[in-house]
């Protein structure tokens, strides 16, 4: 994905934010009907699309069309997809730290660190919900969650590539 190379160029930064917006907007659209009522999850507070839309506005861009996503077949599969999105908040924090270390401006990159200092707490709370909803004793639920995560990782990998590599 060459995130570091893309953020130093204004055009590349805007394109990266657009790709992240498309991924999150598409995923959140298919996850909302399945995960909105999951106890303790607070799916609405985990949505990153509004944050990325603010980032795009700071970059003088409009939100693009969402990434086409296949709706998860079940709640465990949906949690697997959300695992990918939530896990990216951990990676985004690492990326942000590296960018700041080299003096990189963070305009339009707020989506990399959606939870700030609360990232570890948010991740642990998500993992607790995943464990509760997909326990080892619930036949097939773990497999469905893994299937959702694998599909999510593959979709993110292909969607977030730099435009010249797609």
Dihedral sign for Cα atoms in the order 54, 148, 125, 4: negative
- CA dist., res. 113 & res. 89, Å (int): 6
Please report the pLDDT score of residue 164 as a whole number.
57
Nearest to 84 by CA among 18, 15, 166, 145: 145
pLDDT string in tens for the chain (166-residue length): 788 888 888 899 999 999 999 999 999 999 999 999 999 999 999 999 999 999 999 999 999 999 999 999 999 999 999 999 999 999 999 999 999 999 999 999 999 999 999 999 999 999 999 999 999 888 899 999 999 999 999 999 999 986 654 4
Which long-range CB contacts under 8 A does 1-5 form with residues at least 24 apart? Answer: 1/160, 1/161, 1/162, 2/162, 3/95, 4/95, 4/98, 4/99
What are the residue ranges spanned by the domains of the chain?
3-165
CATH 1.20.910.10 fits 3-165, yes or no: yes
């Amino acid at each position: 994905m060459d995130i570091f190379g893309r953020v130093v160029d204004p055009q590349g930064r805007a394109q990266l934010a657009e790709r992240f917006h498309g991924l999150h907007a598409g995923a959140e659209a298919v996850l909302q009907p399945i995960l909105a009522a999951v106890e303790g999850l607070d799916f609405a507070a985990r949505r990153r699309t509004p944050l990325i839309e603010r980032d795009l506005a700071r970059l003088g861009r409009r939100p693009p069309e969402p990434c086409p996503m296949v709706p998860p077949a079940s709640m465990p599969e949906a949690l697997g997809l959300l695992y990918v999105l939530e896990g990216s908040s951990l990676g985004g924090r690492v990326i942000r730290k590296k960018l700041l270390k080299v003096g990189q401006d963070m305009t339009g990159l707020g989506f990399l660190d959606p939870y700030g200092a609360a990232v570890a707490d948010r991740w642990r709370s998500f993992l607790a919900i995943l464990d509760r909803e997909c326990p080892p004793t619930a036949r097939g639920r773990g497999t469905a969650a893994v299937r959702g995560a694998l599909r999510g990782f593959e979709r993110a990998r292909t969607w977030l590539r730099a435009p010249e590599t797609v």
